[in-house]
């Protein structure tokens, strides 16, 4: 059975899975996508063997054999971009050739047997945990930036899903910054701890882009893999094997020096002063005296200096600490709050940045290692 479909519908489906198609691979078949028609449902699938992603579109069946073959996605996608979104195209298959017809003309693509394409793993027969797309997207955006990019430390290149009886903790760290997001109404007792590659989470985030944020996503955790399910999109990915760092042990419980600052005001100060900071170190010094924060940067080689004074609510004796300005800019960007609390213990110990107020549905904590004064 052949099928008809609007160009825009198939274009969007291919775009959802395209991020998983590797440009190079020891297994050339993975450089293709799979089109697999089952009457009115067309499955579009991609894999790099570490991750598999598939989506479905509704099509209008036509007489003829079902379209089932693997083929390179780029040329087909570029062709679809050349049509108006509401253009209806007819797809047929002859042997391993995909034939596409429009009222403009006729186009052909050589493909491969669908049996050559890797099978999609079966969904685990276990209890899953569901949460809205908006929650998934926000957790990934808030934490993923802090994950390490160093392949020598693979465990730290992932996002840690720490399921507890009353909540779930999401953690990412590169040893310089640690982000902890706690969601109290998301729990799955007895579930294994998961370290999911950030690459996989971002690919899935791209795949669900444009779908209603209120839609629910279900995660089925199991040993060795994570399975994400939605009626229109599914992804399964291998977990990162290893022991995640003991993140709770490095979080100072009650640092004695506490400052409350306006997020936007501090961001603007950082933006101005970072222009004058040493480009290699990017050091910014913070000095708290009373309810005034003095921020200073200096580049002795370039003969540059900068200083600003900001109002704040500060508790504790005079205190000085220094950070890398680029790290602070990233942390503030992901606070998602008009004000934040900066809790400090000592100039050489990690400081806590916390949104103020916290979200009613989750709590976030950003732990940042200071630089030596």
What is the pLDDT averaged over residues 302-330? 94
**Residue for token pair 């730290």:** 156
Question: Is pLDDT above 70 for 90?
Answer: yes
Kind and range of the H or E element at 228? strand 225-229
Same domain, 231 and 279: no
Count how many domains the chain has: 3
From the list 232, 220, 231, the residue with the least C-alpha distance to 196 is 220
Same domain, 81 and 44: yes
- Quickly state the pLDDT bin for 1 (edges 50, 70, 90): low
Rounded Cα distance between 373 and 370, Å, is 9
End-to-end CA distance of the chain: 71
CA angle, 4 as apex, 73 and 55 as ends, to 5°?
50
From the list 350, 355, 361, 318, the residue with the least C-alpha distance to 333 is 355
| pLDDT number for residue 58 | 95
Question: Is pLDDT above 90 for 278?
Answer: no
| pLDDT number for residue 371 | 92
Q: 352 with 366: CB under 8 angstroms?
A: yes
| pLDDT number for residue 235 | 96
What is the pLDDT averaged over residues 112-125? 93
Q: Which residues contact 303 (CB under 8 A, 6 or more apart)?
A: none
* Domain end call among 195, 224, 249: 249
Question: Is pLDDT above 80 for 188?
Answer: no
Rounded Cα distance between 291 and 319, Å, is 12
Same domain, 244 and 256: no
Q: 363 with 171: CB under 8 angstroms?
A: no
What is the pLDDT averaged over residues 47-51? 94
Same domain, 60 and 133: no
Asked if the bond preceding 357 is cis, omega within 30° of 0, the reply is yes
| 120-169 tens-digit pLDDT | 998 888 888 888 888 888 899 999 999 999 888 899 999 999 988 888 99
Count the Cβ atoms, other than its own, within 10 Å of residue 288.
22
Same domain, 222 and 159: yes
Question: Is pLDDT above 80 for 323?
Answer: yes
Q: Which residues pair with 365 in a beta bridge?
A: 180
* Domain end call among 116, 146, 169: 116
For position 298, which CATH number holds? 3.10.150.10
What is the pLDDT averaged over residues 305-323? 95
Same domain, 315 and 362: yes
What is the pLDDT averaged over residues 361-373? 91
Same domain, 229 and 258: no
pTM: 0.89
Mean residue pLDDT of the chain comes to 92
Determine the angle formed by the axes of helices 198-207 and 133-143, rounding to 10 degrees: 140
Q: How far is CA 283 from the centre of its chain?
A: 28
Same domain, 64 and 133: no
| 6-29 tens-digit pLDDT | 999 999 999 999 999 998 889 999
| pLDDT number for residue 125 | 83
Answer whether residue 124 is part of any domain: no
| pLDDT number for residue 187 | 77
Answer whether residue 192 is part of any domain: yes
Q: How many CA atoms lie within 13 A of 3 on its CB side?
A: 23
Count the Cβ atoms, other than its own, within 10 Å of residue 195.
21
* Domain end call among 249, 274, 296: 249
Q: 106 with 23: CB under 8 angstroms?
A: no
Same domain, 215 and 304: no
Question: Is pLDDT above 90 for 361?
Answer: no
What is the pLDDT averaged over residues 75-103? 94
Q: What does the DSSP 8-state code read for residue 139? A: H
Question: Is pLDDT above 80 for 355?
Answer: yes
| pLDDT number for residue 373 | 65
Domain of residue 189, residue span:
129-249
């Amino acid at each position: 059975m052949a099928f008809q479909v609007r160009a825009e519908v198939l274009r969007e489906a291919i775009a959802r899975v395209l991020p998983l198609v590797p440009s190079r691979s020891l297994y050339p078949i993975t450089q293709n996508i799979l089109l697999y028609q089952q009457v009115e449902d067309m499955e579009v699938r991609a894999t790099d063997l570490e991750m598999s992603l598939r989506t479905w579109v509704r099509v209008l069946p036509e007489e003829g054999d079902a379209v089932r073959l693997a083929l390179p996605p780029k040329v087909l996608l570029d062709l679809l971009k050349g049509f108006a979104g509401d253009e209806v195209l007819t797809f047929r298959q002859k042997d391993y050739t995909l034939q596409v017809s429009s009222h403009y003309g006729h186009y052909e693509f050589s493909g491969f047997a669908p049996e050559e394409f890797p099978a999609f793993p079966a969904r685990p027969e276990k209890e899953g945990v569901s949460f809205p797309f908006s929650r998934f997207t926000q957790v990934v955006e808030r934490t993923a930036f802090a994950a390490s990019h160093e392949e020598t430390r693979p465990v730290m290149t992932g996002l840690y899903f720490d399921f507890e009886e009353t909540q779930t903790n999401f953690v990412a760290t590169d040893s310089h910054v640690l982000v902890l997001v706690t969601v109290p109404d998301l729990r799955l007792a007895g579930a294994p701890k998961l370290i999911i590659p950030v690459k996989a989470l971002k690919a899935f985030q791209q795949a669900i882009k444009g779908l209603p944020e209120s839609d629910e996503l279900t995660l089925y955790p199991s040993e060795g893999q994570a399975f994400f399910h939605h009626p229109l999109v599914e992804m399964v990915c291998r977990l990162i094997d290893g022991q995640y760092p003991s993140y709770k042990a490095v979080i100072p419980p009650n640092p004695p020096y506490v400052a409350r600052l306006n997020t936007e005001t501090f961001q603007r100060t950082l933006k101005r002063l970072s222009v004058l900071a040493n480009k290699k170190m990017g050091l910014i010094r913070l000095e708290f005296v009373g309810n005034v924060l003095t921020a200073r940067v200096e580049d002795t080689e370039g003969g540059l200096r900068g200083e600003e004074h900001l109002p704040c609510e500060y508790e504790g004796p005079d205190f000085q600490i220094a950070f890398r300005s680029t790290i602070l800019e990233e942390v503030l960007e992901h606070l998602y709050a008009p004000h934040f609390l900066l809790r400090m213990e000592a100039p050489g110990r990690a400081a806590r940045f916390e949104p103020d107020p916290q979200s009613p549905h989750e709590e976030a904590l950003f732990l940042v290692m200071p630089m030596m004064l």
